Amino acid sequence: MSLQSGSRLLSRGRTAIAQRVGVDVRALAALRVSLALVLLADLLLRSRNLVAFYTDAGTLPRSLLAASYPAFATYSLHALSGDAWLQVALFVVAGLLALSLLVGYRTKTTLFLSWLLLVSLHARNPYVLNGGDSLLRRLLFWGLFLPLGRRWSVDALRRGSVESVTVVTDRVPEPLVASVASAALLVQVVLVYATNAVVKLRGDVWLDGTAILQVFSLDQLTVFLGDILANYPTLLRVFGELWLLMVVTSPLLVLLTGRTRAGFAALFVGMHLGMLATMKLGIFPLVSVCGLLAFLPPVVWEPVERRVVDPVRRRTRVARTGRTVDDLLPTMAFGGGARWTTLSDRVAPAVVSVLLVVVLLWNAASIGVVDTPEVVESNVDPGQFRWNMFAPAPLNVDGWFVVPGRLDSGERVDAFRGSDVDWEKPDEVDRTYPSARWRKYLQDVRWGGDTRLRRGFADYLCHRWNSDHEDELTSLTVGYVQQPTRLDGPEPTKRVELLEHQCPAGT
């Protein structure tokens, strides 16, 4: 083989790799905007239960957090105080950072601080977290090593970059950002599906098509269109088989290119939006959609920029000068020195490479593909942190909480729902859980077997009731009504008593 042909072959190989692990700069901009919107939505949703989940008057006071997760209690900023004022302040700061990230102002700094506060928030109450929270942390982290602010951002305007001042008629095609960091971002998303597929294939219910029927038979989970779809088992089986095929072949998200990749990624987006419309899964579907944006190639973003972004640019022209805002903003100073940038550019790829290897090994260990080192196994089990939603099988027991409480007057009330005690199945079981995070927390209360966690829940109910009522709650019983999700035949209910509790004096 001649030197010239070898060089040509090497160039083709690099191009092929870049096409598969590269991310369009506009996709990175869309990822930044979508992550910022999810952060804002998450903060608003969490704020509804700020006292319940993040203060000493709630379900997890700092003393209980320290007993269960000492490291989290030590390093979480949200655990510095048990009062609501600190949580409100940190929520406001996180919201302002998310807004800054949304417009792309000081993107690297706001992204890092947003990630730091999110990690702290998650550490304050791990019992309300799900896979969406874990994926959100990871997407923000990998984004630290990528130019999320290169396009559609204030940073781009302040730098006076070519991208921000290009005349529409003279547009130069954008290169892909192809690096170890871009590969890590894409691989991270694929790992969620691929490892989940491995765990699913180890069971029988996904292979025989009954798993999806079990999922939609969980009344505590299905909402909106989910209650309607539950009446069409044949259609559900089709969706279940399609989803299994998609997660099994999810590595194609990286291997495919162009319109084919765009179509495959769009299919995943559609399935996640379907989850959002049918199941109470918190932010998981939205975060998944954010990650999938990175797979969309230039063929998708070119018409978006032509039809949406360019008209906005035209409208930003300043009437008297005839110049655009893009032309004016670059005169503003932008922080950061060339020496630091050079050092960062040299060190970051090596750091990301090591971290990517660690992530790959961790996920492989979580599904038992590689052995876990003894030093790791003695401290943590990777299998407890694998992507195993509905795998190897969905939960096959439905249920709802009933918490009979006795007041000073002798009257009995349901201390959780604030109503009369009623053990019969509610018309809408999902509404007995105030939110997806409450459902996740109460799953740990029911199935975790941790008496301290159950007492924390009971103390919170005592405090909440007695703070708002003159007729105080003196005792309660945390009960659960469980019902098997059988696909045929009767589904008898069973009452389970989890805890008898005397309300502390002075609550």
**Rounded CA Rg of the chain:** 26
Q: In this structure, how many other beta carbons lie within 10 angstroms of the beta carbon of residue 181?
A: 24
Tell me the pLDDT tens digit for each residue of 142-190: 999 999 999 999 998 887 644 433 333 334 345 789 999 999 999 999 9
90 HSE (CA, 13 A, CB side): 28
Q: In this structure, how many other beta carbons lie within 10 angstroms of the beta carbon of residue 298?
A: 18
Residue ranges of alpha helices (H) inside 393-503 are 436-447, 451-468
Task: Please state, for a pLDDT cut of 70, what percent of the chain lies above it.
Answer: 85
Tell me the pLDDT tens digit for each residue of 228-244: 999 999 999 999 999 99
User: Could you give the angle at the alpha carbon of 327 between the alpha carbons of 345 and 182, nearest 5°?
Assistant: 30
Please report where in the chains the tokens 């190639």 appear, as a residue: 297
| Spatial contact of 120 and 72, defined as CB atoms under 8 Å apart | no
Tell me the pLDDT tens digit for each residue of 204-219: 999 999 999 999 999 9
Question: Phi, psi at residue 271, to the nearest 5°?
Answer: -65, -40
Position 81 pLDDT exceeds 60: yes
Tell me the pLDDT tens digit for each residue of 254-285: 999 999 999 999 999 999 999 999 999 999 99
CA torsion through residues 206, 212, 214, 218, sign: positive
71's CB contacts (< 8 A; 6+ apart) are none
> Is 314 or 292 the better-scoring residue by pLDDT?
292
Position 57 pLDDT exceeds 90: yes
Predicted confidence at residue 332, as pLDDT, reads: 33
Position 398 pLDDT exceeds 90: yes
For residue 392, whether the previous peptide bond is cis, meaning omega lies within 30 degrees of 0, is yes
Tell me the pLDDT tens digit for each residue of 19-35: 899 999 999 999 999 99
The structure tokens listed for 35 are 């992550």
User: In angstroms, rounded to a whole number, what is the distance separating the alpha carbons of residues 42 and 449?
Assistant: 28
Mean pLDDT of 305-332: 52
Tell me the pLDDT tens digit for each residue of 112-136: 999 999 999 999 999 999 999 999 9
Predicted confidence at residue 306, as pLDDT, reads: 79
Q: What residues form DSSP beta bridges with 104?
A: none
Mean pLDDT of the chain: 87
